[in-house]
Amino acid sequence: MSAPVCEIGGGEAQLAGCSLLIPDVQSEPLPILPVEPAPCTQACPAGINVKAYVSLIAEGRFAEALQVVRQHCPLPGVCGRICHHPCETVCRRGTVDEPISIRSLKRFVADLAVDEAPPAPWPLVDKDAKVAIVGSGPAGLTAAYDLRRAGYPVTIFEAEAEAGGMLRYGITEYRLPRDVLDSEIAYLAGVGLEFETGCRVGRDLQLEEMLEQGYVATLLAVGAQRGRPLRVPGAEACAGVEDALAFLRRVNQGDRSPVRGRVVVIGGGSTAVEAARSALRLGADSVDILYRRYREELLADEEEIRAAESEGIAFRFLVAPTRLIVEGEALEALECVRVGLGEPDASGRRSPIQIPGSEFRVEADRVLAAIGQAADLEFMPPEILAQVSENELLRVDPLTTMTGLQGVFAAGDAVSGPATVIDAIAAGHQAAEAIQHYLEEGRPSIAPQAPELRAPLEYGLPDSPPLTADRGRPELRSLKAGAEFAEVERPFGEAEAVEEARRCLRCGPCGECRVCTPSCRRRHIMVRFPVGDGSARRAPILLRAPGSIAMSLSNQSSTRAQLLPESRPRLLPEVAPSEGDSVEVSPVRVQIVEEQCRGCGRCIEVCPFGAITLSGEGPDSVARVEPSLCRGCNLCCAICPTAAAEPNALSVTWWGSRLADAFDGRAEAVNEAGPIVVLACQRRAGSIEPTLYQHSAHVEVIRFRCVGQVDAGMLVELYRRGASSVLVAGCLTERCRFGEGAHQATEQVARAQRLISLLGGGQDRVRSDWSVDRAGDPIETPVLRMIAEVFGARPDKTGRQPC
C-alpha cells in the first residue's frame, strides 16, 4: 500500500483520500522563513529577533520575550544597557515620532530575571571535541554559549579573577551595574559553560597543554585591552599622564581614590567618554575631552556623548596635543594645536592635519589617553604572535575567523579593534559557527554574505499607527553625591514597557517568536525547532502531535514523515497510517503553474493575505505566491481564469474522489433524484455532519478549506452529474477566517444559477447559505428544507420520513 499523502499547513493537516482533517494543527511557524524580516531584526548584527520580543512584551509575555532574546544573545541585561542599538536607528516608528526604545525594553525583560536562580545546565553534551575559549568578554561568551548549545563541552579561560572581560573592566558601573553582569555570567555558568578564571593562557597554561587536555579548537577572544601610548614627547615618563583604559580598569576594580584638579581626556571613543565620566565622578574639578576630529566623527555612542555633556564634560574638537608643559615633577598644561582636515583616510574620514603656528595651552593636572587599543598578547607563544598585524591586532581569514594556525580562531576586539558589544556578540556567533563546522567537517565554514538591508521605508506604514503618547527612553538620573556610580539610566516599569512595546508598527510578516509552538492550546501538533537554531540550518523541523502525528518537515514542497506511537486519532481507520508508517507531507499552499499563468492579476485582487505578486514584465509577467504568507484558502484558484493557480490541498484527484463518493461510485447518478450535495467550509461542516449523514442516501458533504474556492464550473458539473440540489454553505464575511470567502462564493453561486437557468435547468436547485446562527444548526436547517422540497414525502432508503 502506498503511503497516504498528508497535507499540512495553514492550520490543518489533511490526509489525501479522505475528507477528514486534523484540525488546528499548529504549523503556523512552519512556512515562516524570515523572507523580509522587520528592519529592526535585519539591523541587529547578532541576529536577535527584535520584532518578536517587542511583540511579546506588548502582550505582557515577558519570560517568552526574554527567551527570544536569549536565542541569539547570551547577555540580554548587558545589551539592554550598553548596546548602541542599530535596531532603533532603523525603527520605522521613528518616521512617525520616536523610535521604539528597544534597548530599554530588552533591559526590562532581562532585569526581571536578575534575581532568578541560575538555570539547570543544558542536558545536551554529545560531542567529544572540547573547545577552549580564551577570554570571557562578549565575543568569547557568545561563542561558548553557541557551542555549548550545540552540544560541545566548552571551557572559558579568563586571565582576570572574574569573567566578563571588557564588560567588567572597561565599562563602568554607572552604565552596567555589576550585579547585572554577575547574574548573566551566573546564568551562563548555570547552563553549562565552564569558567577557568585567573588563568592566563601562555603563562599559566600553554597552548600545547590545552591540546593535550583535548581542546581541539581554540578561540582567542582576548579583546583589545592594551591602550596605545600617547605619542607626545615625555609622556611615558610623566606621572600625570595615564592610559585611560588602565585608569578605567582600576576604577572598575573598586579603586575609588579621588581625582583632583583639571582632567583632560584625549580621544573620541567610548573609552574616552567612560574615562571622562569616571574622572568626574571621582571628584575632578573639570573634565575636558580633546578630539582631533569633528563632533560627528566621535566614535562613542551619541547617547553617551549627550549624557557626558549633560554631566558637565566639555568637548573640544579639532585639537591635538603636541607637548607636555611640566613644572618640576607636576604636569601643568598641555600644548595643543588646531587641526584642519585633509583627504579622507582609510577609514573614510578626513585625516587631521595640524595647523602650524596655532599652538595654545590647555591647563591640565592629569591627562588620560584614550587614543586607541591593541590586543594584549603578553605571554602568547611566538606562533600566535606571528599572527599579529601591523596595527597590533590578530589577523584572521575574515570569512572563516581562523588564524593562520590550524584550529586556532580569533574573534572580537582582538581582531576588529575596539568595537561595540553587539558587534562582539555577532563576531562570537560567526566564530562559533566556523568552529562547529571545523569540528564536524574538518574545515571552518565560510560566513554567508550579510544580506543587503532593505530600505526601512519600503514597508508601507499602517493607515493608523498605534499612536500613544510620545515616549522615548526613560530619562537619566542626575548625578548625586555619594551615589556617583549608581546606574544612571532609569528602567521601564511594567506598564511603561508594555505601552512602549505597543507603539511598535509590526513591520514585515510574522515575527517568528514561535511561542505558539509549545503553547498550542489544543496541543495537536507542535513544532519543535532544532537546537542551536542558526539561520543557516533552519529547515528541518520536528512536528510532534500528542496523540496524532509526528513528522519531520522541511520548508520544501513535500517531505517524508514518520508516524510515532499513539498516532491515528481523528483519521478514518482505513486511511489512517499505522505507527511507523511513512507519510508524505506537503504544506497546504497554492502553487502557480507558470506556463499556465497569463499574469492577469485577478488572484492578487482576491488574495486575503497579500501573498501574491506579479513578477516579470508585461506579457511575460507571472503570479508568484509567497509561501510564508499563503494560508491555502484557495480563493485565487476560483478566480484564476486559466487554472494556473493550483490548490495543493484539494487536488484534482481529491475532487474526483469526492465526486465518486457523492455519486455512489458511479460517474453519474442514475436514479432521477440524485443526492443533495453540500459544499461546506470545514468550520461549518464539522459539527453537523453526523446529523446530515442520517440522510446518507440523499446528502453528501464535500468539505473545503473555504467555500470561496468553489467555482461555477464545479456547481454546473455537480448538477450535470445528477445532483438533485447543491448547497454551498460557509461563514458570513465577518466570520470567514479568509475574509472574502463568502463574497466570492456568493458570486459564483449566482453565476451558476444564471447559467443553469439559461440552459433550461431549475436555478433554485443551486443555493447558498450563510447562516449566522452559531448556536443552532448552521447547515442542517437549509439542507433539511431542501430534502423536503426535493424528495417530498417519499421515504428515503432507510425508510424514514425526511422531515
**What is the nearest approach in angstroms of other proteins to the Cβ of residue 659?**
12
How many Cβ atoms sit within 10 Å of the Cβ of residue 71?
A: 19
Tell which one of 427, 644, 680, 783 touches other proteins (CB under 8 A): 644
Task: Please report whether residue 622 would count as binding other proteins according to CB under 8 A.
Answer: yes
What is the distance between the alpha carbons of residues 409 and 402, in angstroms, rounded to a whole number? 4
> How far is Cα 400 from Cα 386, in angstroms, rounded to an integer?
18
- Among residues 391 and 596, whose Cβ is nearest to other proteins? 596
Comparison of 550 and 623: residue with beta carbon closer to other proteins: 623
Contacting residue, 348, 619, 665, 792, with other proteins by CB under 8 A: 619
Per-residue contact track with other proteins, 578 to 597, x per CB under 8 A? Answer: ----------------xxxx
Nearest approach, Cβ of 289 to other proteins (angstroms)? Answer: 57
Interface with other proteins, residue 673, by CB under 8 A:
no
Shortest Cβ 740–other proteins spacing (Å): 16
The correct pick among 116, 302, 605, 764 for binding other proteins (CB under 8 A) is: 605
Cβ proximity to other proteins: between 416 and 724 the closer is 724
Contacts to other proteins from residues 708-747, by CB under 8 A? 711-714, 716-717, 719-720
Distances (CA, A) of 547 to 123, 204, 297, 521, 617: 26, 56, 61, 14, 49
Shortest distance (Å) from residue 608 CB to other proteins: 18
Which grid coordinates are listed for 219? 578561540
Can you tell me the distance from the alpha carbon of 414 to that of 139, in angstroms, rounded to the nearest whole number?
10
Q: Which three cell numbers stand for residue 398?
A: 575574515
What radius of gyration do the chain's Cα atoms show?
34
Smallest separation (angstroms) from other proteins to the CB of 746: 14
**x/- track of binding to other proteins for residues 36-75 (CB under 8 A):** ----------------------------------------
What is 447-506 written as a DSSP string? PPPPPPPPPGGGSPPPSS----S---SPPBPPP-TT-TTS--BPPPPHHHHHHHHHT---
- Phi, psi angles (nearest 5°) of residue 561: -140, 160
Q: At closest approach, how far in Å is the CB of 602 from other proteins? A: 7
**Element of type H or E holding 214:** none
Question: Binding segment for other proteins among 85-93, 130-138, 369-377, 615-623 (CB under 8 A)?
Answer: 615-623
Measured from the CB atom, the residue of 374 and 726 that comes closer to other proteins is: 726
Of 289 and 611, nearer to other proteins (C-beta) is: 611
DSSP 115: T
How many CA within 13 A on the CB side of residue 581?
19
In terms of Cβ atoms closer than 10 Å to its own Cβ (0-12, 13-18, 19+), residue 652 is exposed
Decide whether 294 or 655 has the Cβ nearer to other proteins. Answer: 655
Query: Rounded to the nearest whole angstrom, what is the least distance from the CB of residue 36 to other proteins in the complex?
Result: 22
Residue 602 is a binding residue for other proteins (CB under 8 A): yes
DSSP sequence for 137-179: SHHHHHHHHHHHHTT--EEEEESSSSS-THHHHTS-TTTS-HH
Nearer to other proteins, 39 or 722 (CB): 722
Q: Which of 633, 437, 656 is nearest to 537 (CA)?
A: 437
Which of positions 389-418 make contact with other proteins (CB under 8 A)? none
Left, alpha or beta for 372 (phi > 0: left; psi -120 to 50: alpha)?
left
Q: Can residue 538 be called a binding residue for other proteins (CB under 8 A)?
A: no
Nearer to other proteins, 177 or 761 (CB): 761
CB 604 → other proteins: shortest distance, Å? 8
Closer CB to other proteins, 325 or 755, in the complex: 755
Nearer Cβ to other proteins, position 453 or 667?
667
Smallest gap from Cβ 785 to other proteins, in A, equals 24
- Which of 370, 364, 369, 371 is closest to 260 using CA atoms? 364
Closest CB to other proteins among residues 186, 622: 622
Q: Please report, for residues 589, 628, 725, 787, 798, the alpha-carbon distance to residue 801 in angstroms, rounded to integers and kept in the order given.
A: 43, 50, 18, 10, 9
The Cα–Cα gap between 621 and 635 comes to: 20
Closest CA to 786 of 755, 758, 762: 762
Residues 757-796 that bind other proteins (CB under 8 A): 757-761
Q: With CB under 8 A as the rule, give the number of residues binding other proteins.
A: 37
Helices (H), 475-630: 494-502, 516-519, 602-606
Contact 455, 170 (CB under 8 A): no
Single out the residue of 358, 642, 687, 801 in contact with other proteins (rule: CB under 8 A): 642
CB of 644 to other proteins, least distance (A): 7
Q: How far apart are CA 428 and CA 140, in angstroms?
A: 6
Which member of 114, 405, 600, 673 binds other proteins (CB under 8 A)? Answer: 600
Q: Exactly one of 620, 671, 773, 803 binds other proteins (CB under 8 A); which one?
A: 620
Amino acid at 378: E
Asked if residue 313 binds other proteins (CB under 8 A), the reply is no
**Binding status of residue 672 toward other proteins by CB under 8 A:** no
Count other C-beta atoms under 10 Å from residue 672's C-beta: 7
CA–chain centroid gap for 515, Å, is 12
Q: What span, in angstroms and rounded, lies between the C-alpha atoms of 255 and 457? A: 49
Is there binding between residue 615 and other proteins (CB under 8 A)? no
| Residue from the set 539, 754, 795, 801 that interacts with other proteins by CB under 8 A | 754
Among 99, 223, 352, 599, binds other proteins (CB under 8 A): 599
Give the nearer residue to other proteins in terms of CB position, either 144 or 718. 718
361 part of the interface to other proteins, by CB under 8 A = no
Among 638, 723, 729, 779, binds other proteins (CB under 8 A): 638
Q: Is 601 in the site for other proteins (CB under 8 A)?
A: yes
Q: Which of 356, 482, 565, 618 binds other proteins (CB under 8 A)?
A: 618
Residue in the structure block whose three cell numbers are 477566517: 737
What are the grid coordinates assigned to 799, written together? 425508510
- In the complex, what is the shortest distance from the CB of residue 718 to other proteins, in angstroms, rounded to a whole number? 9
Contact residues for other proteins (CB under 8 A)? Answer: 594-602, 605, 614, 618-622, 638, 641-644, 711-714, 716-717, 719-720, 751, 754-755, 757-761
